[in-house]
Structure 1
Amino acid sequence: MAIKTSYLANHVRTLKPSGIRKFFDATAGMKDVISLGVGEPDFVTPWNVREAAILSLEDGYTSYTANAGMLELREAIAKYVDDYYCVSYDPEHEITVTVGASEAIDIALRAILDPGDEVLVVEPCFVSYAPLVTLAGGVPVIVESKKENDFKVQSEQLEAAVTDRTKAIMICSPNNPTGSMLSKREMEQIANVAKRHDLLILSDEIYAELVYDDLYTSFAAIDGMKDQTILVSGFSKDLAMTGWRLGYVCAPREITQGMLKIHQYAIMCASTMAQHAGLEGLRHGRTDMAEMRKSYRQRRNYIVQSLNEMGLPCYKPEGAFYTFPSIEATGMNSETFATRLLQEERVVVVPGNAFGDSGEGHVRCSYATSMSQLQEAMKRMRRFVEKL
């Protein structure tokens, strides 16, 4: 009997590993490393949020919640989204609590895509977007944002990429890895493309609270777009709750019910303890969010100035906690630059091409680390660049 050479499905076997994790794992065993690689706040989850989780355990809340999440939490999410995004959602039928925003994106794609459906994926973008489209049976169609447009995709680019198989447009604003943020006018122009072609917008708004110099607008708040928007967000970035794995997704009732079917079979429900923590964060976390945002703004201003001064041109990000400087002047590609910087100066950055081909010639530097660490990292990077 012939032995199979591989039991893996073809579409899984051909998936590329995360370019972020590659450099993170490369630091194992290395000493005196400063990581600007992983997008994780250096803050600890606020004490009152942690305490709420501890109290939930002490009070015996260790059972499953409703599949969609605790109704009390969904009601708090609805209030928060209404207050901050100016969009109203029914907490009973239009909100699902998920295991991080990543699960929300996954179940959204699996709920809306039939085999062969196309999704316009704006790059550079978070590493999971295109692979999750593929795993859901869809076809990712890459639309590259350009550095000359500050990495903001143009509506004409999206219009040109639409075919009769296009089902959705996938966008993250503020963007990971570039920190760029679409203006309301730019969002309206993209919304018009979605309306003309009856497309969904899958909007990853996980960095919505980390906006520094402008007002935030959600795609769901654009006139006429609520029923064509799947709004994804969570608690990881603004409340420093990455390890809690708590997110949520707001969508029209029919889509929510579809996502809930997948969620209940694959996950059952998000962690009960994490849900109690998230509830406390929504109710009493605004001060902590503001303090963290203030610190990130200071770090952003410092790192952007430092990178530009050392000859690595850097767009000033409007949100998130990433910079995306050009390293073209060094004559190296992004992979070589990141590898040598790690080997020679013990600083971790992520090659821009990890986020799509349009990211080549850049590296992502996260400033979600302490100012003292940033200062030392910039000192080392300057030394590295000057040697070149």
Structure 2
Amino acid sequence: MTVTLSATLAANEDIERRRRAGERVLHLAFGEAGLPVHPALRDKLAAASERNGYGPVAGASGLRAAAAGHWTRRGLLTDPELVVCGPGSKPLLYGLLLAIGGDIVLPMPSWVSYAAQADLVGSRPILVPAPPGEGGVPDPDLVATEVRRARANGRIVSSVLVTLPDNPTGRLATPATVARLVRVARELDLMIISDEIYRDLMHDPILPYTSPADLAPERTIITTGLSKSLALGGWRIGVARLPENGHALRRRLLAVASEIWSAPAAPVQEAAAYAFGDPPELTDRIVRSRRLHGAMARAVRERFVEIGASVPAPQGGFYLYPDLSHLRLGGSAEITKILLEEHGIGVLPGHAFGDDPSAARVRVAVSLLYGDTAEERLAALNSPDPLRLPWIAANLDQLSSGLKELSLVRHGAVSERHPALVPEPCHG
């Protein structure tokens, strides 16, 4: 098995190296929330800084109770004894793959770490396209076909994973699609892992949202964390809600956790317990965050649409998934390289998300466009019209300029920035 650095982390480090070397690169490759820590969270963490004991493997009782309340307020009555905490939802997903066993069905495209983690634990992922216009949920009819085929070939397929809303597409699967998947999961006895870390960042909070746990609580695991909704990626805290009667799964997951991370960091658990209590000052922060993410995602989409790209309208999180195949500049790897090296725009190639390498689709994250300092990011968060802030307007102008150059180069037009791309005149 060949293990490589995660595509998102590798791209982030490469772009930061280029910036330190003086290159002007627009950073659209990394899914970091790009906002400052709320002062109340910072105070909670500081107050808990003396807590240095390991604590329970499942997480502190206060955090598990707070997370249970968080889900209960969203219509999912939750037993704190079926909540397991970890140092981020990513390790929890890895632990769940080990605890469940067998092969897993993934949407195509889907977050880069799902298939990579499956490979690490010896699970062979089955990639199934999402229904047209949707994202994050594999087409239920195709899931049934692929699982039956795999089982006929002797494979053990145990689970299916969904992301609501989705990374990389920014789309939300419809309640009808989720219901169809639940019927297939019941028919084929599949566990459903529902990654809902972007749930509170729906751009339109009245858009119908259905979790598989609403329909199949007996076979659905939900994972979430604070990395996205409250921009606490570096704090590394996540929680998993296990299915009804999931005590045997809990025991297996805790056995895995005890050998990998022992327990989440105690001070961070204290702050997270406060956050999962949904206090008004933090719910207000989340409302303003999703408003900013939505405004920026729509603005960035407009820039891609202007050059003829096909871009599904974003519905949640801070991602877009443009298709630049109309430019005929190659597949996802080629278009990503051209964007970065010739136009100063850093994105991730669609093939890193399991997509067809020949398609020129790329994942765009807009959340690092809000500013270079905490003061600029806070101003963007609080502004009634963040797109008019000078630094954000400059970022959008740079994006427009680079994309227009890309489009002009495709049509053989002269580019002052890239004279080397212009054919030399013939003499004689």
TM-score (normalised: structure 2): 0.82
Identity of aligned residues (%): 24
Where does residue 211 of structure 1 map in the other structure?
202
2:53 corresponds to 1:63:
yes
1:266–1:153 distance in 2 versus 1, CA, 3 Å: closer
Instruction: Note if contact 2:105-2:143 (Cα within 8 Å) is conserved in structure 1.
Output: yes
Residue of structure 1 aligned with 2:314, choices 293, 296, 317: 317
Larger Rg: 2
In structure 2, give the amino acid aligned to 1:195: R
Where does residue 378 of structure 2 map in the other structure?
none
Residue of structure 2 aligned with 1:88, choices 67, 77, 91: 77
Encode CA deviations 1:278-308: one digit per residue, 9 max, x unaligned: 1222232211111101111111221122211
Residue of structure 1 aligned with 2:92, choices 68, 86, 104: 104
Shift of 1:16: 4.8
Encode CA deviations 1:310-360: one digit per residue, 9 max, x unaligned: 211111022121000111011121111111111122110111111013373
What are the residue-to-residue correspondences of 1:1-388 with 2, within 5 Å?
11=1, 14-27=2-15, 28-30=17-19, 31-57=23-49, 60-84=50-74, 86-91=75-80, 93-113=81-101, 117-145=102-130, 148-151=132-135, 153-163=138-148, 164=151, 165-213=156-204, 214-222=207-215, 225-251=216-242, 252-283=246-277, 284=279, 285-332=282-329, 333-358=331-356, 360-369=359-368, 370=370, 371=387, 372=392, 373-388=395-410
Shift of 1:33: 1.6
1 CA distance for matches of 2:407 and 2:64? 49
Encode CA deviations 1:228-262: one digit per residue, 9 max, x unaligned: 01111111000000000110111122212211111
Where does residue 3 of structure 1 map in the other structure?
none
2 CA distance for matches of 1:21 and 1:43? 18
Shift of 1:107: 0.6
Instruction: Note if contact 1:367-1:374 (Cα within 8 Å) is conserved in structure 2.
Output: no
Runs (5+) with no aligned partner, structure 1: 1-10
Instruction: Note if contact 1:119-1:166 (Cα within 8 Å) is conserved in structure 2.
Output: yes
Kindly tell me the number of residue pairs found equivalent between the two proteins.
Answer: 366
1 CA distance for matches of 2:127 and 2:295? 34
Shift of 1:375: 4.3
In structure 2, give the amino acid aligned to 1:75: A
Instruction: Note if contact 1:350-1:364 (Cα within 8 Å) is conserved in structure 2.
Output: yes
TM-score (normalised: structure 1): 0.90
1:42–1:65 distance in 2 versus 1, CA, 3 Å: same
2 CA distance for matches of 1:125 and 1:72? 33
1:160–1:149 distance in 2 versus 1, CA, 3 Å: farther
Instruction: Note if contact 1:118-1:139 (Cα within 8 Å) is conserved in structure 2.
Output: yes
